[in-house]
Amino acid sequence: MIQIDSLHKHYGAVHALDGLTMTVEPGVVFGFLGPNGAGKTTTLRILTGLARPTSGRVVVAGVDLVSDGRTLSRRIGYLPEQPAFYSWMTPRELIDHLGHLHGLTAAERSARTKELLELVNLTEAGKRRIGGFSRGMRQRMGLAAALVHKPEVLLLDEPVSALDPSGRKEVLDLIETLSGQCTILMSSHILADVERVCSVVGIIADGRMIVQSGREALMDRYAQPAFEAEGEDMAAVRRWAEIIKYQKWATAVSLDGDILRVTVSNVHLARTELLASAVAQGVALRRYEEVRPSLEDIFLQLVNKEAAQ
């Protein structure tokens, strides 16, 4: 549904995209990841027709953006990070207006308005002015606006980045509901959310794709076993962490607040020696467990490896 081949975008001497190649199959929820400055926003601007590439080929829902970008708006829906609306409009007025722009008849607009407001849980707010909406309500309104014309491809730029936990859950639930109804490309830096809703993940760095894979296959291929521990005496935990760093089976040791995380290359040795090491150092533990590596662990592993090359 999205095919990008050798995509370049230059801003003077800055190469925002440097040969990006990626494929998004129909019906998937694709998590588009990368550190700041990797080229995610530039890619989305090109996919929405808001920017033109320096070179390369981009096809979205059968539309070649370089040679036939004018028909693109019929095929895609777009939710920017901060959607903007006429504050004096109501949701009913906005959806009706957008439906009119997309050529829907009065009967089609009426039915679509009812359907979308139910989908995004804004039926009761349908006659309120959008200017008084919360951030979460505005994001849901943005999703409804992007879906008015039943697009084949839905592009989401950081859809939950500024929401509270309740608002995030509402929007993520919506994205899960839409899975299979259209192809979704979701750019986000909240990796736990990507891990929850995305079936395929692509990670870019320096304007190039460094890995693209199904989520579970990616986890199986790159995830390294890890252990987490919380101690009662942080000074003792820090001393213990310094000792662990010199063990051959420890590949990464980090302290986040009072949580010690140890990534290991040999889980069998670690199971035997890690806890014994804590006992030997007199570290009193409140919690100690083997944890499933997260998408964030893999993301940092791959991005750091790419930066070191």
pLDDT digit string, tens, across residues 196-245? 999 999 999 999 999 999 988 888 888 778 899 999 999 999 999 999 99
pLDDT at 77: 95
Here the CATH number for the domain that contains residue 275 is 3.30.70.600
Same structural domain, 125 and 251: no
Quick one: which of 151, 204, 197 has its CA closest to 174?
A: 197
Same domain for 148 and 252, yes or no, is no
pLDDT bucket at 73, cuts 50 / 70 / 90: confident
Would you state the pLDDT for residue 145? Answer: 96
Place 69 in a pLDDT band, splitting at 50, 70 and 90.
low
Angle subtended by helix axes 295-308 and 215-222, to nearest 10: 60
Q: Do 146 and 154 touch, CB atoms closer than 8 A?
A: yes
CATH number of the domain residue 66 falls in = 3.40.50.300
Q: pLDDT (tens digit, 9 = 90+) per residue, 42-53? A: 999 999 999 999
Are 113 and 262 part of one and the same domain?
Answer: no
Cα distance between residue 81 and residue 76, in whole Å: 16
In a domain, 216, yes or no: yes
Q: What is the distance between the alpha carbons of residues 267 and 273, in angstroms, rounded to a whole number? A: 10
Whether residue 261 is predicted with pLDDT greater than 70 in this model: the reply is: yes
Same domain, 114 and 89: yes
Instruction: Give the C-alpha separation, 196 to 159, whole Å.
Output: 14
Instruction: Average the pLDDT over 15-37 and give the result.
Output: 94
Cα separation, 228 vs 262, in Å, equals 6
Structural tokens at position 143: 């999703």
Q: pTM surpassing 0.75? A: yes
Side by side, the strands of the sheet bearing 250-256 are: 250-256, 259-264, 226-231, 285-291
Residue 197 lies in a domain: yes
Residue range of the domain that includes 107: 2-220
Are 12 and 140 part of one and the same domain? yes
Domain finish residue from 202, 220, 238:
220
Model pLDDT, residue 6 = 96
**Mean pLDDT (whole number) for 154-160:** 93
d(CA 264, CA 306) in angstroms, rounded, equals 20
pLDDT for the residue 56: 95
Domain count of the fold of the chain? 2
